[in-house]
Structure 1
Amino acid sequence: MTATSLIGGHALVAGGLATGGLRYAADIEAEIIQVFVTNPRGWAMVAGKPSEDTALRESGVPVFIHTPYLVNMGSPSADTLEKSTESVRHALRRGAEIGALGVVVHTGSAVSQSRDDALRQLHEHLLPLLDEIPEDGPDLLLEPMAGQGQMLCATVQDLGPYLAALDHHPRANVCLDTCHAFAAGHDLAAPGGVGVMLDALHAVAPGRLKLVHANDSKDVCGSKRDRHENIGAGHIGAGPFADLLRHPVAAGVPLCIETPGKSEGHREDIRLLKKLRDSAEVTAATG
């Protein structure tokens, strides 16, 4: 019997980080939530409200933070690099304040510079942030992208040199997005495709998978297009998510949907994943 993976979604916060986030979590029947602690499309770093932070920390609901979309630690722009560094530092600090388990950051793009230069940049600017994380603070969760442009990390094999640039720091872990992985070329819809990908992940980053963004894909495998679809409604299909929930590499790893729509659709996605989880647990129990 493998450990149970909690299932939840990205909370659409309105009315306070804890108040709105926990209300939304209850509405969509989420067992975990992911939140933004700043504008996801801006650089402003917002201070938390102590009462909200305490409520979220004491709620018992596991929380993850997603950094803003503008963050790119591989950027050749000194301004973008500086702002990205401070944004990640802020998210890690806020994660400690709200008791978050992890802070998700996109692995970024080299844009116009070489991959080697971008990886050296990670060593210089991102690695020191990992040393700043307090013992009881959140891990940094590296999220590989769909492979468009000069992305530093798309396939799970790309995590090898990325983690090496961070000296395989113990606080550098992984958030795997199923839509991104599919778009990058991991054929999760093929028989055994999920197992092939997770085995490859274990080979380069053993024990580092801490969160899965569970998203179906509007586009075909290898499209390099990051377009999420509701669970079972895209080119991945529902079955591979059951395979993921059965696989030992993903045992006990939380799943967070980032699918289209609002609360009703999110609730249905979460219910479907819970049914797949129940089925996977029955299969594991009966051998």
Structure 2
Amino acid sequence: MLKIGAHMKISKGFSKVPEVTINIGGNTFQIFTHSPRVWRITKLKENDVKGFKENMNKLNINFEDVLVHSSYLINLASPKEDVWEKSIKTMIEEIKATNDLGIIHYNFHPGSHLNEGEEFGINRILKALDLIFKEVEATNVIVLLENVAKKGSNIGYSMEQLGKIINTSYWKERLGITYDTCHGFDSNYDIREKDDVKRLINDIERNMGLEKLKMIHLNDSKYEVGAGKDRHEFIAKGYIGRKGFETFLSFNEFNKLPLLLETPGDDPEHSQDIKTIKEIFEGLKK
């Protein structure tokens, strides 16, 4: 069965998310653990956590298929000491919250070295991850690095960069990746033709192993391949297009994983995108 869902709001409480997910046609989802635009961490409410777990079980949503996304402010590659330290502290608290919710996977963008160079940035990320895992070692959470758009000083736009971080880390067994179709498209990973998808699969296998690929962010792109703009579009409405998703989802390496939408709009738009993906997938079986 296709595992499909979207990024969901937590403003009405975590306990409401599973039901709303089912209502829009999903069977998995992505959430934040608090507002992603502030450093301040909101403490989880015990009753809300309890209700969340009860509703997950009641509605048969698998905890392993759900993803927590880090807040936007986190930058483990930052040369600014205050930002770097706040990022580490915030990530520790978010991972603990992920664990308290019973969720297994936590996703973050590797960060930006702010013109200090790739080697500097990767070393900062590795040092930060070491400090973070020492604080959350007792949790069951797997931390996923998300590929990002090739723009500015971003780290993680290539499988080689992500592989370098994972393979160098002492905590390699606790690390994996999320593949974002829009970010990949931005970084010259075209998925509109089968040969290009095969090259992507080989790149993942060569640099970290396909077993490290745990989640998919399924987003169309407002711009053509290689643009480096990071502007998500509705499924089949952008430059990847319906054909691109037909090609991408024809590969078991991707269609067996949780597919999480970060497309524009809210629940009604996500419901339509989920419907479109299901139609595409069903069409591949004919």
Relative to the length of structure 2, the TM-score reads 0.91
Alignment of 1:24-103 (within 5 A): 24-58=20-54, 59-60=56-57, 61=61, 62=63, 63-103=66-106
Task: Indicate how the Cα distance of structure 1 residues 274 and 39 shifts in structure 2: closer, same or farther if over 3 A, else same.
Answer: same
Aligned 8 A contact 1:183 1:226 in 2: yes
3-state SS, counterpart of residue 71 of structure 1: coil
* Match runs of 1:90-239 below 5 Å: 90-133=93-136, 137-167=140-170, 169-206=172-209, 207-239=211-243
Partner letter of residue 24 of structure 1? V
Q: CA deviation at 1:192?
A: 2.9
Q: Deviations over 1:100-140 (max 9, x none)?
A: 12111011111132221222212222134235445662211
Contact 1:9 1:32 (C-alpha < 8 Å) held by counterparts:
yes
**Which amino acid in the other structure matches residue 239 of structure 1?**
K
How far did residue 239 of structure 1 move?
A: 2.5
Shift of 1:238: 1.8
Letter in 2 for 1:270: I
Any idea what the Cα deviations from partners look like across 1:248-281, whole Å, max 9, x if unmatched?
322521000010112221101111112223334x
Secondary structure at the aligned position of 1:179 is classed as helix
Match of 1:268 in 2: 272
C-alpha separation between the residues in 2 aligned to 1:46 and 1:67?
14
The amino acid of 2:49's aligned partner reads D
Q: How far 1:191 moved relative to its partner?
A: 4.5
Output the CA distance in 2 between the equivalents of 1:264 and 1:56: 22
Moved more, 144-153 or 22-31: 22-31
Retained in 2: the 8 A contact 1:7–1:256? yes
Taking the aligned partners of 1:138 and 1:28, their CA distance within structure 2 comes to 27
CA-to-partner distance for each residue in 1:178-213, whole Å, 9 max, x for gaps?
Answer: 000000111122443222212211221211111100
Q: Whole-Å Cα distance in 2 between the matches of residues 223 and 81 of structure 1?
A: 29
CA contact (8 A) 1:130 1:140 kept: no
Describe the shift of the 1:244–1:168 C-alpha distance in structure 2 as closer, same or farther (beyond 3 A). farther
Gaps of 5+ in 2: none
* Structure 1 runs of 4+ with >6 Å offset: none
SS of match in other structure, 1:188: coil
Mapped partners of 1:121, 1:14: distance in 2:
33
**Within the alignment, does 1:17 sit opposite 2:14 as a pair?**
yes
Mapped to 2, the partners of 1:231 and 1:271 lie a distance apart of 10
**1:195–1:243 contact (8 Å) kept in structure 2:** no
Q: Tell me how far apart the structure 1 counterparts of residues 136 and 213 of structure 2 sit (CA, whole Å).
A: 18
Q: Which runs of 5+ in 1 are unaligned?
A: none
1:239 and 1:131 map into 2 onto residues whose CA distance is 45
Taking structure 1 as reference, are residues 135 and 238 closer, same or farther at Cα in structure 2, changes over 3 Å only? farther
- Aligned-pair RMSD on alpha carbons? 1.8
Distance 1:178 1:121 in 2: 26
3-state SS of 1:170 partner: helix
**2:4 maps to 1:7:** yes
